[in-house]
Amino acid sequence: MRLLHAATALAATSALALTLTACGNGSGNDASGDQSSAPASSPSATASGGAQAENAGATKDAGSSTGGGTGTTTGGSGGGTGAGRCHTAGLGFSFGSGDGKVSSSDDQQQLAVVLKNKTSAACTIQGFPGVDLKSSGGSWSLTRSGATPKKVTLAAGSSTTFTITLLPWNQGSGAEFKATSVVVTPPNETTSTTLAWPGGSVLLQDGATHPGTYTGPVGG
């Protein structure tokens, strides 16, 4: 009888051990499953990949934007609005027909100076020209009018003008300036062109605050 009870007890103990072992292994499998299926590392990798794709897209977009901007600038330059400045060497100089009287009260006259684009490309010009009247005894740099200069685009072969307003000298009116030539320097240029003066003597007012002889802006 003791042997039977001992065998029964041993069998029960073994069965309990097997049950505990099975439970322990199941718990371990659950923990292992939690670790392997946990999305902590996988979503991180996915997020990183997405960020890289966005960065790549941003870089691509930036490149496209830069290229587009450059193209637009180049296109604008070729379209005339970005034409280069007119230079003295590329301009022809002459007098126009606008040399009639403009004011009977003080006998002021206007002399138009024509600037012609002699080159094969458009150019722009803006501002006041330098105008110096020359005589055998000296030079007189004319002051500017109060007009606002505007930008003028000259196509190949086209012309624009500026006006010299002058006050002729009359006997007894004051000092006489016997002009023989006029030196014209286009805006923003340092090279000049000399033309023979087509008019008569001018009343010298080189020290006056508001002289009757002065120059206007190109295109004005």
Each of the 220 residues of the chain gets a pLDDT tens digit; together they read 444 444 444 444 444 444 434 444 444 444 333 433 333 333 333 333 333 333 333 333 333 333 333 222 222 333 445 789 999 999 999 999 744 433 334 589 999 999 999 999 999 999 999 999 999 999 999 999 999 999 999 999 999 999 999 999 999 999 999 999 999 999 999 999 999 999 899 999 999 999 999 999 999 8
Q: State the burial class of residue 128 (Cβ atoms within 10 Å of its Cβ: 0-12, 13-18, 19+).
A: buried
This model's pTM is above 0.75: no
Report how far Cα 214 is from the mean position of its chain's Cα atoms.
Answer: 33
AA letter at 56: A
Assigned token pair, 83: 């034409």
Taking the mean position of all CA atoms in its chain, how far away is CA 107?
45
Residues with Cβ within 8 Å of 190's Cβ and at least 6 positions away in sequence, in order, are none
The residue type at 55: N
